[in-house]
Amino acid sequence: MITRRNLLKTSGAAGITLAAGGLAAPAIAQGARIKIGYVSPQSGPLAAFSEADQFILDAFAGSDAGANFEIIVKDSQSNSNRAADGASDWIIVDGIDLILVASSPETTIPFATTCEA
């Protein structure tokens, strides 16, 4: 006869076994670096927004966590059209995994719109 207690014990043990089974499997992308695209207005009238960017990116690249990432920096030249064109190039040509855009709405909004499309 199956009691409620035996059923819960059996199903709990089966659930733990199934969940732990994937822990021993090797990571598929082990050793692969994650590509991050970072765009900011480094030149033009909005360049003041990105003055500290290079300092922060260099500090991150020098850290232990930064060894797992490849950061590709591009200048939007404070131009919304340039920012939108840069997004499509990164996604299609460079195979970027994650895109970060910073500083001002003039460059972030067209960039985000292109990424959504």
pLDDT reported for residue 46: 81
pLDDT reported for residue 7: 59
pLDDT reported for residue 48: 83
How many whole angstroms separate alpha carbon 87 and alpha carbon 103? 16
Beta strands in 7-111 (DSSP E): 34-40, 69-75, 98-101
pLDDT reported for residue 11: 66
Task: Kindly report the CATH class assigned to 34-116.
Answer: alpha beta
Tokens representing 92? 């299609």
pLDDT reported for residue 74: 82
Burial class (CB in 10 A: 0-12, 13-18, 19+), 87: buried
pLDDT reported for residue 72: 85
pLDDT reported for residue 63: 87
**Mean pLDDT, 10 residues at a time, over the chain (117 residues)?**
68 62 57 82 82 86 86 81 73 81 78 79
pLDDT reported for residue 22: 56
